[in-house]
Structure 1
Amino acid sequence: MPFHLITLILACFTLVGLAQVEQMENVNFQTFSYTNSKELRLENHERILDISFLHGLASGDPTTDSIILWTRVTPKDSNFTGIVQVYLKISSSPYFDDDCRTFAVFTNYMIDYTVKVDIDGLKPENYYYYQFFAPNGETTRVGRTKTLPKNDYDGEVKFAVYSCSNYAGGYFTAYSMPVIKNSVDYIVHLGDYIYEHANGDYTNGTGINRMHMPDREMWTLDDYRERYFHYHLDKDLQLSHSMYPWILVWDDHEIADNSWLRGSVNSNGWKFLNRREAGMRAYLEWLPIRPQENPFKIWRELKFGKQVDLLMLDTRHYSRDVTDIYSNTNYIASIADREERTMMGFDQEYWLYSTLNKSQSKWKIIGSQTVINHVDFTPIDKWMEHPFKERDYDSFDGYTANRRRLLSTVKNNNITGAVIISGDFHIAWVHELFLDTNSYDPVTGNGSLMVEFATSAISSPSTFPRELNIEQCYEISNKLVDGNKGILWNEGWFRGYFEMNITTDEINVSYFGVNVTNPEHEEKSLANFTVDKDVPHVRRNFEGQPSFGYLDSRVIN
């Protein structure tokens, strides 16, 4: 360790004084081991000095006065099982020379040497800088985060929205691009942060040296922990985590393909329940998400002043009825329209509808793992494989009453400013949602109740056939859009993400595409869309847009 770095760390202790180092609770101890980490004492355990921070640092779930901060300690001795103490400093200055606070926190093997703390006493709408360091002189980089704005805030809010990051599927270039551009304030990840497959089963990263580890499908807690260990070594992912607070929900692949309440494609019963508990625990250990009283309940609301209510759903694991697991597609098709079917569970549905109804914010952003709009795949069935010949029954098309209840709530209560963001399907598209096909006019947008912006994947392969080129994907998009009322635009070749710029008067959404086959930090602007205040459809002035993908010709002036 360089002498100047050791000197800097020792100087920090000198400046703050040991009496001013506050012992901090490690949230992961509290969540999983039922141990109060403040009661741990190093003198009662083996000490360790030879540690490193291989996995960077992260922040998430901001409030107006608090933030979750995260890191992970790696002991150099792989057989070590003792207690490790690390330190954290946080300040509103990147030089830590203003209102600097210092904390000590413990971790150990019981929580996979992860460190998660909930720092309070912060100021609204404020940037904070933080860094973890160890007694042996090892440190993380300096991270930056931001609290939520105060309650009367009505200024700009900027998100980057991601979904479906498959390490073996390609480079995570999209994570770095908003950092390079300094273009957003918060990250929203809608699920599939990791994938459970062995290398080669769904994606094969051998050619670009991005193989999934462990090289087997995940089933146990050790499996899931090792997969997060591997993903978090990615430099693009580390960069994004270090610069922005993340707001996350899980989808199926954090556990297993097409998971529902009691099973998945290849597991059910106790075998699945044990697997789900292992996957959820690793997720909560390794990511900067604030646990609730029930740690496996992750649906929640974040308020960005008077401007935005962000409602993050769990349409996957909380209380989803049986879904399409490929062997039962015809059965799910036969029950898809039953009134009692729910993606979320009726208590979460009630929370969503009541929160929308009472919200005073100008915009209500609903974060859904899966696409909510109805999509008919029969116009492109010759390109689509089972189970996507007609509908995606793992989305809201398998739970149409749940979608109808949402849209009816918006219509019957005259709710304005409701916008959906979603992911999961690995193609980018824009939808306008309606209850009555006959009342919706795609030329003007009249009859639309809300807009849905669905992002592509960070690196997971397109749902269109992988061997197709961009021109062939455009042909599929053309037929898909023309064959579906309410799909305004679709692009299925690029991997990527979108950014939302939200003001009092409008939401601007910009889609970006990246090449995941090489690590170059480049992107292309794909398309831009605007939703105006109190107007539940996309603005019909596209000014030469989009650059890529197919736009419904009926909406072009």
Structure 2
Amino acid sequence: MTLQLDRRLLLGAGAFGLAALATPGVAQILTARGFTHGVASGEPAANSVLLWTRYVGSADTKLRCEVSADENFRKVVSGGEAIASPAHDNCAKLVVAGLAPGKWYFYRFIAPDGTKSETGRTRTLPVGDVDRFGIGLFSCSNMPFGWFNAYAHAATRDDLDLIVHVGDYFYEYEYGHYPDNPMAGRPIEPRNETVTLADYRLRFASYRLDPDLRRIHQRFPMIAQWDDHEFANDTWQGGAENHQPDKEGDWSVRRAAAEKAYREWMPVSDALYDSFQIGSLATLFRPETRVSARTGQLDFGAVMAGAAKGGPAEVAKALVQFRDGPWMSQDRTLMGAQQEAWLHKGLADSAKSGTRWQVLAQQVVMGSLKAPPQMADLVPATGDPKVRQVLMAIAAASKVGLPFNMDSWDGYPAARERLLRAARQADCNLVVLAGDSHNAWGSELSVDGASAGVEYAGHSVTSPGYEAYLPSVAPADLAKSLRGANPGLAFADTSRRGYVSLQMTPEEVRGEWHFVGTIAQRTTAGTTSEGLSVKWNERRFAPA
């Protein structure tokens, strides 16, 4: 029998000394007082920005916030008050207004006893004509896999104005599962899988002790959206692959707990989806594609297994029926009808207003990715037979035109067509940002035979890519095979970790995938970059 204890109830009962305090990491988090996790800012507008901190007192604590144009706070230009309450895990947020557009500001929080938080730096969005704007794109940061060197590298840069995090900010798994052999010096709490509100809060608290994650929050405003692992693997509206109701309770309870902790710990508002105007240069849309309306993921593996007794011909027939039926169904959606209508209208309004670029900062890969027919041949005959079997199944699906990742937009082709058609009809210059897959992809998006935009899909901060599952395959060979099987795939890297940055001008967007030299130690040495550009009104990548 496993005894599960709610940490807040333990705290209220004064029983921590008998339970969680026996674990050093938990003790460090739960006994800390005062300002415990630095500062953060997010969701900037032209005249306002949301500010965050955490302060642990004996009860509800009123904090004062100051915003200044200089780091020494000689002239405070804005501020306000916020309550750090145990009801919200002692996290405090407020929106400060009255700021000038396109300006850097410094901010801090002050406790009733006069102690001060770290000083943070943030920036408002510009108005009018904008010559240049820099964005850093991040996803998939699994602490036990290694060091967050991608955050560290970006935090030193002076050409970024905004950080966008498209999810998998942390992972829900128990310690010792994914990875099976955690890296030394990268512990997480709690050690069990996150299921309850207390679990999710403690996992956030554990991650936010990382100095490089803390630093990037301190240096830049962030626009963030969850993906699946902030809840459980392969989340959809009605559940998740990594949620077992018979053991872990009702999904709606777990989902509510995860969402509450996210909104407490992240510099975000309560808006499920939103858009942000970067002067006349760009409109950045932040949709929600995971928990609010997503239809459950399909599984062509189950289709193949069900037809396997009939031999290869029956398997192929079943796959064709699956392709033409469930996979192409018009009612399959990631966002739901209401959000789709909001996004389609927003794209049209942005283009009609003369805004140069329409940026869609969302969670999962939009470009179509099918396996090369010779996929199984990439693994030597002496390789893992289970891996070869999986690759053969993926290749068989590919032969009838099916992609291999049903959790991405590839699993929702009708919804993707609706979105790209709306963007094309509105004459948008669409730039899609994505994460989730752990691999780096640069894709040219099309609909009805016409170019619709480009996608910069980011690789992970630490989570492993295909190199972990195909160790005998040279990454360059795999990338070449994938590009050959997918005409719209302009760039692929399946073996390195890092982040993406965009430099936007009215005439061009230049995106670069930055690859850190290692995640096995804390260093940014050896970071390299590769990039692609898209010219305005071209809707496809310029020749390299």
Q: Find the counterpart in structure 2 of residue 61 from structure 1.
A: 43
Residue 92 of structure 2 is aligned to residue 143 of structure 1? no
Question: Does the CA contact (< 8 Å) of 1:261 and 1:320 recur in 2?
Answer: yes
Residue 111 of structure 1 corresponds to 88
Structure 2 CA distance for aligned equivalents of residues 461 and 329 of structure 1: 28
87-96 or 518-527, which deviates more: 518-527
1:316 aligns with 2:290: yes
Matched, 1:532 2:526: no
**Can you give the 5+ residue segments of structure 1 that lack an aligned partner in the other structure?**
1-49, 440-446, 543-557
1:269-303 residue CA offsets vs partner (Å, 9 max, x unmatched): 761111110000000000001223xxxx2x11100
1:463 — aligned with what?
Answer: 466
Aligned-pair CA distance for 1:419: 1.2
Correspondent of 1:452 among 449, 452, 455: 455
CA distance in 2, matches of 1:194, 1:403: 27
Provide, for residues 364-386 of structure 1, a one-character-per-residue CA deviation record: whole Å limited to 9, x for no partner: 00112001111102446436658
1:51 touches 1:138 (CA, 8 Å); kept in 2? Answer: no
Whether the 8 Å CA contact 1:364–1:417 is kept in 2: the answer is yes
1:247–1:326 CA distance, 2 compared to 1 (3 A): farther
Alignment match, 1:421: 433
Q: Which residue of 1 aligns with 2:501?
A: 499
2:488 aligns with one of 486, 500, 505: 486
The answer to whether the Cα contact below 8 Å between 1:423 and 1:457 also exists between their aligned partners in 2 is yes
Aligned counterparts of 1:435 and 1:127: Cα–Cα separation in 2 = 40
Look up the match of 1:430: 442
Match of 2:411 among 398, 422, 425: 398
| Alignment correspondent of 2:64 | 87
- Corresponding letter in the other structure for 1:348: Q
1:9-50 Cα distance to aligned partner (Å, 9 max, x none): xxxxxxxxxxxxxxxxxxxxxxxxxxxxxxxxxxxxxxxxx9
Deviation for aligned residue 1:100: 4.3
Counterpart Cα distance in 2 of 1:68 and 1:223:
25
> Which amino acid counterpart does residue 367 of structure 1 have in structure 2?
A
Cα distance in structure 2, aligned partners of 1:452 and 1:327: 28
Matches within 5 A, 1:113-192: 113-150=90-127, 152-192=128-168
The CA deviation string for residues 340-371 of structure 1, in whole angstroms up to 9 with x for no partner, is 11111011111111111121210000112001
1:307 aligns to 2:307 (yes or no)? no
- Three-state SS of the structure 1 residue aligned to 2:250 is helix
Counting matched residue pairs gives 471
The residue type paired with residue 66 of structure 2 is K
8 Å contact 1:205–1:212 — kept in the other structure?
A: no
Separation in structure 2 between the aligned mates of residue 467 and residue 520 of structure 1, nearest angstrom? 26
Residue 252 of structure 2 aligns to which amino acid in structure 1? Answer: L
1:238 matched to 2:214? The reply is: yes
Name the SS of the counterpart of 1:53 in structure 2.
Answer: strand
> Are 1:276 and 2:255 counterparts?
yes
**Alpha-carbon distance in 1 for matches of 2:163, 2:290:** 20
Which digits, 9 at most, give the CA deviation of each residue in 1:215-238, with x for residues without a partner? 111110000000000000000001
The AA in structure 2 aligned to 1:107 is: A
Matches of 2:371 and 2:79, distance apart in 1: 56
1:291 pairs with 270, 276, 293, which one? 270
CA distance in 1, matches of 2:79, 2:480: 57
Q: Structure 1 residue 327: deviation in Å?
A: 7.8
TM-score (norm: length of structure 2): 0.82
2: distance between equivalents of 1:168 and 1:280? Answer: 23
> 1:498 aligns to what SS in structure 2?
strand
Q: Distance in 2 between matches of 1:388 and 1:419?
A: 29
Q: For residue 207 of structure 1, give the secondary structure of its aligned residue in structure 2.
A: coil
The one-letter amino acid of 1:363's match is W
Q: Distance in 2 between matches of 1:120 and 1:325?
A: 48
For 1:65 and 1:105, locate their aligned partners in 2 and report how far apart those are by CA, in whole Å. 19
Aligned 8 A contact 2:234 2:242 in 1 = no
SS at match of 2:532: strand
- Preserved contact between residue 80 and residue 96 of structure 2 (Cα < 8 Å): no
Q: Which deviates further from its counterpart, 273-282 or 117-126?
A: 117-126
1:39 aligned partner: none
Deviation of the 1:479 alpha carbon: 0.8
Name 1:369's counterpart in structure 2. Answer: 363
Structure 1 residues 104 and 341: CA distance shift in structure 2, 3 A:
closer
Deviation at 1:306, TM superposition (A): 0.6
> Which residue matches 1:548?
none
Q: Secondary structure at the match of 1:426?
A: coil
Aligned counterpart, 2:344: 353
Contact kept? 2:78, 2:98, Cα under 8 Å: no
Deviation of residue 106 (structure 1)?
A: 2.1
SS in 1 for 2:474: helix
CA contact (8 A) 1:87 1:105 kept: yes
Provide the secondary structure at the position in 1 that maps to 2:509. Answer: strand
Change in CA separation of 1:271 and 1:477 when aligned onto 2, cut-off 3 Å: same
Contact 1:258 1:324 in 2 (8 A): no
**Preserved CA contact (<8 Å) 2:511 2:531:** yes
Indicate if the aligned counterparts of 2:78 and 2:97 stay in contact, CA closer than 8 A: no
Q: Is the 8 A contact 1:428 1:454 kept in 2?
A: yes
What amino acid sits opposite 2:522 in the alignment?
A: P
1:343 to 328, 334, 348: 334
**Which residue number in structure 2 is paired with residue 517 of structure 1?**
520
Secondary structure of 1:247's aligned partner: strand
Any idea what the Cα deviations from partners look like across 1:403-431, whole Å, max 9, x if unmatched? 11112223334x13111111110000100
Distance in 1 (alpha carbons) for counterparts of 2:79 and 2:527: 42
- Residue 434 of structure 1 deviates from its aligned partner by 1.7
Aligned to 2:56: 74
Partner of 2:16: none
User: How big is the shift at 1:467?
Assistant: 6.7
TM-score between the two structures when normalised by the length of structure 1: 0.80
What SS class does the counterpart of residue 54 from structure 1 fall into? strand
Aligned with 2:495: secondary structure?
coil
Shift of 1:138: 3.6
Aligned AA (1:62): P
Identity of aligned residues (%): 29
Q: Which amino acid aligns with 1:397?
A: D
Structure showing the higher helix proportion among its residues: 2
Three-state SS of the structure 2 residue aligned to 1:257 is: coil
2:368 maps to amino acid: H
CA distance in 2, matches of 1:453, 1:84: 43
